[in-house]
Amino acid sequence: MTIGVDDDESAFSRMDDSKAVEESWLRICSKLKGEVGEVEYRTWLTKIALGPIDGDEITLLLPTRFLRDWVRSQYGDRLSELWNQEISSIRRVELQVARPGDPVAPPIMLDEQVSSTAPTMAASNDTEEAPRNPPEVKSDIVASLDTRFTFDTFVVGKPNEFAYACARRVAEKPSSVGFNPLFLYGGVGLGKTHLMHAIGAELLQRGNVSVAYMSAEKFMYRFIAAIRSQSTMEFKEQLRSVDVLMIDDLQFLIGKDNTQEEFFHTFNALVDAGRQIVVSADKSPSDLSGLEDRLRTRLGCGMVADIHATTFELRISILEAKAAASGVVVPTKVLEFLAHKITSNVRELEGALNRLIAHANLFGRPVTLEATQDVLHDILKAHDRRVTIEEIQKKVAEHWNIRLTDMSSARRARAVARPRQVAMYLAKQLTSRSLPEIGRKFGNRDHTTVMHAVSRVAELMERDAAFAEDVELLRRMLES
Ligand code: ADP
Ligand code: MG
């Protein structure tokens, strides 16, 4: 096989400079983390995104003014020092609130970290003469796994139980799993990376296997660096010497034909040698158009496990688990509120909860619903579902087979009054409309009528499981 360097190579050179800055940043992050501790670091510093460098000044971006002020007062000077140590021309750090369109902080995975003492992946020192041996591969990989991502901390529910079971299976018996590869797919923030790290942690704990985990992006960088330093043979040997190879976010390889080609060969070599492969992507193999057909075919040959969007129940379980682990008491009401409001993915749900917990710790005040709405104001606004009251009325009317006009009519027969109350209740839950606004949409009713409807429905849901199920079902239909 000949390896061309066309598209990937030029992409790489363009990235060279910004890559160096990013690597400096990762080193700074890892130092800071050591200095301030895991909790502080996660709460404040992972929110920082890199902005531009202008002369002797680098801009760092934070999502809110509160965070910016906090980071500035607590870490401003230290950040300047650390940057100056990394890049001596930088003398000042400017902290700004990010505007729409500005870069946001990527989640910091430890596999992305560059530390001067521990290269991240088996193939990281591409230019070195001496080939690496498996024990070294192993120790490098240990350093690259995020210890928070284990099977123990993964909350299992309907949407992810199959993927979880497959992941467990690989972690328990990598040599006789019976399917290869394991292909995990699902939307962003639903736990793919978490499961892969969990597999790695479990395997290493059981010992005696070498595991390699890296993002597809990193795979490409390593590969291109190997081409440049004419050490592709070593790179391949290193990859092919592991027992379990895990490649995260494979969709990154779309359009990167040479890297795909290399991955395909590595893949085949490993499978032929009876090694286990785990791959994740945001889509199923058949939907990953842009990947070579033969690669897609091979990817689909093993076990394809889909992680579905979260359900309300799973979101509650996750919040409960994370709140319990934090040691801060978060009332059920607040957990339910968050699980209703933040339905996009687990990462955002977790982010919201972490912010609440940080506030509680910082100000030593108990978490209440009011405080939650206040602290998470910006997040909640962004997640306001665009469900309209009209949609709610329509769905509810359909469900109970009444006329849409009865939502605003004056009829008070229970057969129409009850569905109308449910619609008001859902309007309160699913939209950011105020009680008077909701009242107006229901035939100009008074806000106290809406208030009454909301509490009446809540009460009935407590008492009548079948009714509660109906309402939940409607909510889910409207949410999706
Ligand atoms: P993905 O790789 O699918 O984009 P991640 O694995 O990075 O998502 O998950 C995002 C965040 O949500 C991580 O912090 C992870 O620990 C958390 N998370 C996702 N799913 C679960 C779950 N089922 N239980 C506990 N935490 C979860
Ligand atoms: Mg991921």
In angstroms, what is the span from residue 381 Cα to ligand 1's centroid? 23
Among 347, 353, 355, 357, name the best residue to mutate to test ligand 1's pocket (greatest count of ligand atoms within 8 A of Cβ). Answer: 347
Q: Identify the CA nearest to 335 among candidates 347, 327, 350, 345.
A: 350
| pLDDT value, residue 134 | 37
Radius of gyration, alpha carbons of the chain:
26
Peptide bond into 181 cis (omega under 30): yes
**Whether residue 198 has its Cβ less than 6 Å from ligand 1:** no
**Whether residue 394 has its Cβ less than 6 Å from ligand 1:** no
Contacts 24+ apart (CB under 8 A), 7-12: 7/255, 7/256, 7/257, 7/258, 8/220, 8/223, 8/224, 8/256, 8/257, 8/258, 8/259, 9/224, 9/227, 9/228, 11/256, 12/221, 12/224, 12/225, 12/228
3-state DSSP percent of the chain in helix, strand and coil, to 5: 60, 10, 30
- Cα distances from 133 to residues 112, 137, 207, 243, in angstroms, run 22, 7, 16, 13
Give the 3-state secondary structure of residue 447: helix
| pLDDT value, residue 104 | 62
In angstroms, what is the span from residue 192 Cα to ligand 1's centroid? 7
Nearest CA to ligand 1 atom 18: 191
Closest-approaching ligand to the CA atom of 152: 1
Reported confidence tier of residue 105, pLDDT bands at 50, 70, 90: low
**Whether residue 347 has its Cβ less than 6 Å from ligand 1:** yes
| pLDDT value, residue 384 | 66
Atom of ligand 1 nearest to the CA of 196: 6
Among 110, 346, 348, name the best residue to mutate to test ligand 1's pocket (greatest count of ligand atoms within 8 A of Cβ). Answer: 346
**Whether residue 320 has its Cβ less than 6 Å from ligand 1:** no
In angstroms, what is the span from residue 18 Cα to ligand 2's centroid? 22
Atom of ligand 1 nearest to the CA of 249: 2
Among 147, 155, 190, 280, name the best residue to mutate to test ligand 1's pocket (greatest count of ligand atoms within 8 A of Cβ). Answer: 190
Nearest CA to ligand 1 atom 13: 347
More confident residue, 386 or 55: 55
In angstroms, what is the span from residue 196 Cα to ligand 1's centroid? 10
Reported confidence tier of residue 7, pLDDT bands at 50, 70, 90: very low
> Where are the strands (E) in 92-189, listed by range?
92-97, 182-186
**Whether residue 223 has its Cβ less than 6 Å from ligand 1:** no
CA dihedral of 224, 225, 231, 235, whole degrees rounded to 10: -70
Residues 6+ apart with CB under 8 A from 364: none
More confident residue, 34 or 149: 149
In angstroms, what is the span from residue 443 Cα to ligand 2's centroid? 47
Atom of ligand 1 nearest to the CA of 197: 6
**Whether residue 350 has its Cβ less than 6 Å from ligand 1:** yes
In angstroms, what is the span from residue 462 Cα to ligand 1's centroid? 31
From CA 76, how far away is CA 92, in angstroms rounded?
Answer: 9
pLDDT tens-digit readout, 118-147: 323 333 333 333 333 333 443 344 447 888
Q: Which residue has the tokens 């942690």?
A: 201
Q: Is the confidence at residue 178, as pLDDT, over 80? A: yes
**Whether residue 194 has its Cβ less than 6 Å from ligand 1:** yes
Q: Identify the CA nearest to 284 among candidates 265, 254, 312, 305.
A: 305
| pLDDT value, residue 106 | 53
| pLDDT value, residue 70 | 77
Least trusted range by pLDDT, from 50-64, 73-87, 121-135: 121-135
In angstroms, what is the span from residue 233 Cα to ligand 2's centroid? 29
Tokens of 388: 């309209």
From CA 86, how far away is CA 464, in angstroms rounded?
Answer: 63
Residues 6+ apart with CB under 8 A from 344: 189, 383
Atom of ligand 1 nearest to the CA of 164: 23
In angstroms, what is the span from residue 147 Cα to ligand 1's centroid? 13
pLDDT tens-digit readout, 416-428: 999 999 999 999 9
From CA 251, how far away is CA 249, in angstroms rounded?
Answer: 5
From CA 166, how far away is CA 305, in angstroms rounded?
Answer: 8
| pLDDT value, residue 9 | 38
pLDDT tens-digit readout, 220-272: 888 888 888 888 888 888 888 889 999 999 999 998 988 899 899 999 999 99
Atom of ligand 1 nearest to the CA of 321: 25
**Whether residue 190 has its Cβ less than 6 Å from ligand 1:** yes
Among 155, 185, 194, 326, name the best residue to mutate to test ligand 1's pocket (greatest count of ligand atoms within 8 A of Cβ). Answer: 194
Go through 286-313 and write b for each residue having 16 or more CB atoms within 10 A of its CB, e for each that does not.
eebeebbeebbebbeebbbbebbebbbe
**Whether residue 351 has its Cβ less than 6 Å from ligand 1:** no
